Chains A and B, each alone.
Chain A
């Protein structure tokens, strides 16, 4: 197909050719020609969000749960600037997003026209790449390139800014196979010599640990399958970052739980005490490493990452492997098998004995007593009542509830857990849940939220109701900015500056006002029934779960501390060391 058409039609044709079935967007003056084309076709479904930030987070939820790029369409000026938070979020968490923005006509650019903003200038630092298209002939080619760059290598958001006159003008359509082949072709195969050296180290390692991240999930299902095979075959323990949950099943025998600032005792001490750390698709984030100087001091470290700039950025890698996780794991397994499937099993057995002793601390223990629901209890009950659902997807907002969800919910498959890790965007979870539900209409989609985060994008209730998306908003309502409050308690002399959620809405009435269902639960005895009522309702639900207001999230590694300086909360070591509540281990 090589034909003349308007720029607006080209956009729809190019999206179809890229296999796009859903676009999240919001119309406005500078994108009206594109919306006119969307109106006249049925191949692409447009989901009308209620705020452009919501469009990008919904597209992120769609992308994260399907492995396909998410597509966003917004207008110029405020449409584009509202999308900036979502684009930055996608950049930090390596989520493939193609964002199309309208722009004022080319002859008006620079004149401070109505709804004009320097969109490519504003979004340059928060996209992997962006373009201002000034000629209709270049439009289709640019969109095909945009999809290529968003999905190849380390995925990320890209943006194409399209002036209105370019949408109206007629030009030559470029098909996907004829589009300019970008020089951007990241290396996917790792250096086999370094992989072999790593296998040798694995054969000798006495205290190995796998440390996996979002890169495993971004690499695709095959990477998760290979990771599981490698872990089971070697018998090495495995922990994961927040972004990597689900690539190895939480029900697996070798699973230590999440690591990092609010990770488990056993995962963090295994990281601290290991002699071989195998980082697969994670990036030594500061929430993971704690104090750099004391990070896993006795280990040799392997680092597998498709982004060369991630390697040696924070932590020196003894075995740097640049490549795609799936390809590297395939080669790693091949080399390890060909050398006789060896491990230092006696030493690894001793290592497991140590790990079991750490596990016996039961760092996630808490006490549910009294008439108030503990947030941990709410999540444990949610887990118990939903874990057998064949397609359960969880999104979260940001804060204490997010960490508790990571601790108390188990993920056995990749792409089932959508959370804002790098940027930590409050207001992410609700629109993300909308995007997940659009992609998986029959799935159970739950957004575990805090009341403060949830209010940041609550306008998306309109979207959920309009498209009959039965998303469950499970709000752990402590009437506080919980994580802020926790830091103020622990580090700022209990001066709770501006961390109350004053003047909260009645969430049940709020749900009803939108035409959805609201459920209020504040008694632990009613919790199971209330959760079942939420699950059995065919439509969007706001679940106002009123929880303990002063609960802190433990374990916790205060920033600037090492992994072995973790604070435990209600775990069994409490009282042994003192009455301070939290203890330095």
Chain B
């Protein structure tokens, strides 16, 4: 007895292979307060890789030394259903104290810091410094053939600045990823 299911059809499997998530992709910024103990970051990252969620940016640092708390800021993307799952999966983790979806919970401030090294000579070097002033960069290191600029802002601002630098010389970049916090009380 055979079912005569067409080769390659989705019924030809032990699983339903059709994605039932056709909603639009959204980007959300999550702030996660966790116990500052070994393995917490691995556990959080493991959730994202194990369940196939995206990480666009991630920052982590201790925020309360006495209370042993660290804050992880993750920028992630997915359908609304996936974003809700990410939040709930994070909330059920034992070492996680609090999860805020800043994108949903109201206005928030997000900033990223970048250190941008530009290696250039002559007119290009002058032009790099001029543009850096427009972007209100700090010059944190200088040689006759290079600058290191410090720039803080939204990720888009850093992207715009580096795009302008690339034609001027060799650009090397270190970015921190996004840190974010809700506005107001």
Q: A308-B88, A312-B84 are in contact. Are A559 and B3 (CB under 8 A)?
A: no
Query: Are A184 and B16 in contact, with the CB atoms below 8 A?
Result: no
Residues of B within 8 A of A132 (CB): 38-39
Question: B121 contacts the other chain (Cβ, under 8 Å)?
Answer: no
Bound Cα distance A286, B92 (Å): 22
Partner of B16, one of A154, A286, A552: A286
Partner of B42, one of A124, A291, A493, A560: A124
Main secondary structure on A side of the interface with B: loop
Query: Which interface residue of B35, B46, B94 has the most chain A CB atoms within 10 A?
Result: B94
Partner of B20, one of A293, A307, A494, A561: A293
Least CB distance, B157 to chain A, in whole angstroms: 35
Residues of A within 8 A of B20 (CB): 292-293
Question: A514 contacts the other chain (Cβ, under 8 Å)?
Answer: no
Residues of B within 8 A of A309 (CB): 85, 88-89, 91-92
Q: Which of B1-20 contact A (CB under 8 A)?
A: 1-3, 5, 10-18, 20
Bound Cα distance A263, B41 (Å): 41
Q: Which of B64-103 contact A (CB under 8 A)?
A: 81, 84-85, 88-89, 91-92, 94-95, 97
Query: Are A491 and B5 in contact, with the CB atoms below 8 A?
Result: yes
Query: Are B95 and A489 in contact, with the CB atoms below 8 A?
Result: no
Q: Which of A542-585 contact B (CB under 8 A)?
A: 552, 558-561, 567, 580-582
Query: Are B3 and A128 in contact, with the CB atoms below 8 A?
Result: no
Question: A481 contacts the other chain (Cβ, under 8 Å)?
Answer: no
Partner of A559, one of B2, B14, B46, B84: B14
Query: Are A124 and B84 in contact, with the CB atoms below 8 A?
Result: no
Q: B27-52, CB under 8 A of A: which get 1 and which 0?
A: 00000000100110011001000100
Counting contact residues on chain B (CB < 8 A from A), the size range is: 20 to 34
Partner of A184, one of B1, B42, B94: B94
Residues of B within 8 A of A490 (CB): 1-3
Question: A334 contacts the other chain (Cβ, under 8 Å)?
Answer: no
Least CB distance, B97 to chain A, in whole angstroms: 6
Residues of B within 8 A of A130 (CB): 39
Bound Cα distance A203, B47 (Å): 41
Q: A125-B50, A309-B85 are in contact. Are A560 and B91 (CB under 8 A)?
A: no
Query: Are B16 and A292 in contact, with the CB atoms below 8 A?
Result: yes
Query: Are A581 and B15 in contact, with the CB atoms below 8 A?
Result: no
Residues of B within 8 A of A121 (CB): 42
- 17 A-B pairs besides A132-B38, A490-B3 with CB distance below 8 A are A130-B39, A290-B16, A291-B18, A293-B20, A309-B85, A309-B92, A312-B81, A487-B14, A491-B3, A491-B11, A558-B11, A559-B13, A560-B13, A560-B15, A567-B3, A581-B1, A582-B1
Which A residues are within 8 Å of any B CB, using their own CB? 120-121, 124-125, 128-130, 132, 149, 153-154, 182-184, 286, 290-293, 307-309, 311-313, 487, 489-491, 493-494, 552, 558-561, 567, 580-582
